[in-house]
Amino acid sequence: MKNFILVILSILTISQYTFSQNYIAAALDEEFWGYIDETGNWVIRPMYNAAKDFNSGTGLIRNLDAWYFVNKEGIIINRSNTYLVKNDFSEGLARVQENGKWGFINNLGEIVIQPQFIEAGDFKNGVAAVKLNSKWGYIDQNGKYFIDPQFDHAKDFENGVGIIREKGIYKYVNSNKEIFPANNEYEALKDFSNGFARIRQGKFWGFVNQSGKIVIPAQFIDAGNFAEGLAPVCSGKFWGYINTRGEYSIQPTLETAKEFSDGMALVKEGKEFYYVNSSGEQVGRNASYIIKHDFSDGLARIIQNGKVGYIDKSGNIVIQPTFEDAEDFAGDYAAVRLNGKWGFINKNGDIVIECKFKKVRNLIKL
Q: How far apart, in whole angstroms, are the C-alpha atoms of residue 335 and residue 351?
A: 10
* Chain centre distance of CA 232: 21
pTM: 0.89
Say if residue 197's pLDDT is above 50. Answer: yes
**What pLDDT does 44 receive?**
97
Amino acid symbol at 230 = L
Question: What Å distances lie between residue 271 and 267, 304, 307, 313, 336, CA to CA?
Answer: 10, 17, 21, 21, 28
Decide: 109 and 77 in contact? Cβ < 8 Å. Answer: yes
Which residues 6+ apart lie within 8 Å of 279 measured at CB? none
What is the per-residue pLDDT for 7? 46
Average pLDDT over residues 164-184: 92
Residue 203 sits at the vertex; the CA angle it makes with 198 and 206, to the nearest 5 degrees, is 25
Per-residue pLDDT band for 20 (boundaries 50, 70, 90) equals: low
**Overall average pLDDT of the 11-38 stretch:** 77
Reported as a single tens digit per residue, the pLDDT across 86-107 is: 899 999 999 999 999 999 999 9
User: Is the pLDDT assigned to residue 1 strictly greater than 80?
Assistant: no
Kindly report, residue by residue over 207-260, the tens digit of the pLDDT: 999 988 999 999 999 999 999 999 999 999 999 999 999 999 999 999 999 999
CB 91 within 8 A of CB 106: no
360 vs 94: CA distance, rounded Å: 23
